[in-house]
Amino acid sequence: MGLMAARHFVLPERPEPGAVVCAAEEVHLERGGRVLLDSVSLELRAGEVLALLGPNGAGKSTLLSMLSGDATPDRGSVRFGDRPLADWSLTELSRRRSVLLQDNQLLFPFTVHQVVEMGRAPWRRTPLEDDDNFAISEAIDAADIAHLGSRRVPSLSGGERARAAFARVMAGRTGVLMLDEPTAALDLGHQEAVLSIARERARAGDAVLVVLHDLNLASAYADRIALLQEGRVAACDAPERVLTAETVSSVYRTPVEVIPHPVTGHGIVVPLRH
């Protein structure tokens, strides 16, 4: 690494617990005459797991894309840290937030190790480049893919690809994780593992935004839940205040009951079946 690069590198500051790391303010987005987000305001804070829930088409992935900078609102604004999101360069953002998209098609014949290594790209020519090997190894172990390191991505199952993509995001070691349906292709054990890691990152002071379809996973692992319905935030609060039988039944248009987990006490959402 060159001396000039080292001199100009500024390590991203770690926000205080509870500080707002990014926020959408009255964002509105339409595509093809359809309203995708309708005057949505939402804050993501350091030290929390914030889950985005809602039916198909509710606007969850669109809102995550808005907060990550991958989409721009027609109206309203998005802030990251202390300034508008648009004022950050792509390099600056890549060192502050890691994004796992829902459509994460890794079709090129890279090996799993090469894919995870991509997560370290933002730190090239910086002092943190010295951490590459350890960060990659740690992410591979956390995602349980050490045995897949030399495998080519096209040869992997859907779940294995998802774990490789998750490891790539983890290797970046940024203070903000934005995960769009990270558990969708995973088996039960790996679903729990991924969200346990997200929970650990939040305890360490990171901010985690995660789109989920499984209400019970959100109930168990999220500090707050933002429940979306037709492009609006129907409720945003602690899981026990959002995942009530009345609210869930109304938003998902199907009757449910919510019962406490016999050990943890977290609410379990169960459809009413006849």
Q: Is residue 144 part of a domain?
A: yes
Decide which of 212 and 106 is more confident.
212
Q: Do 181 and 59 fall within a single domain?
A: yes
End-to-end CA distance of the chain: 66
- The CATH number of whichever domain residue 27 belongs to comes to 3.40.50.300
Q: Do 220 and 260 fall within a single domain?
A: yes
Q: Do 132 and 211 fall within a single domain?
A: no
Give the pLDDT of residue 1. 47
How many domains is the chain partitioned into structurally?
Answer: 2
Q: Do 246 and 125 fall within a single domain?
A: no
**194-212 tens-digit pLDDT:** 999 999 999 999 999 999 9
Q: Do 167 and 256 fall within a single domain?
A: no
Q: How far apart are CA 116 and CA 119, in angstroms?
A: 6
Q: What is the pLDDT averaged over residues 11-26?
A: 92
Q: Do 24 and 62 fall within a single domain?
A: yes
Q: What is the pLDDT averaged over residues 175-179?
A: 97
**115-127 tens-digit pLDDT:** 999 999 999 999 9
Tell whether the model's pLDDT for residue 3 goes beyond 50.
Answer: no
Give the pLDDT of residue 107. 61
Q: How confident is the model at residue 8 (pLDDT cuts 50, 70, 90)?
A: low
Q: Is residue 94 part of a domain?
A: no
Buried b or exposed e, range 201-234, using 16+ CB within 10 angstroms: bbeebbbbbbbbebbbbbbbbbebbbbbbebebb
Per the structure, the complete domain to which residue 128 belongs is given by: 106-173
Q: What are phi and psi of 109, to 5 degrees?
A: -80, 45
Q: How confident is the model at residue 10 (pLDDT cuts 50, 70, 90)?
A: confident
Q: Do 180 and 169 fall within a single domain?
A: no
Q: What is the pLDDT averaged over residues 221-249?
A: 97
Considering the chain, what percentage of its residues have pLDDT values greater than 70?
Answer: 96
Q: Do 150 and 186 fall within a single domain?
A: no
Tell whether the model's pLDDT for residue 7 goes beyond 80.
Answer: no
Q: How far apart are CA 56 and CA 85, in angstroms?
A: 27
* Range from 26-30, 37-41, 154-158, 186-190 carrying the lowest mean pLDDT: 154-158
Q: What is the pTM of this model?
A: 0.94
Give the pLDDT of residue 104. 62
Q: Do 225 and 168 fall within a single domain?
A: no
Q: What integer best gives the mean pLDDT of the chain?
A: 93
Q: How confident is the model at residue 106 (pLDDT cuts 50, 70, 90)?
A: low
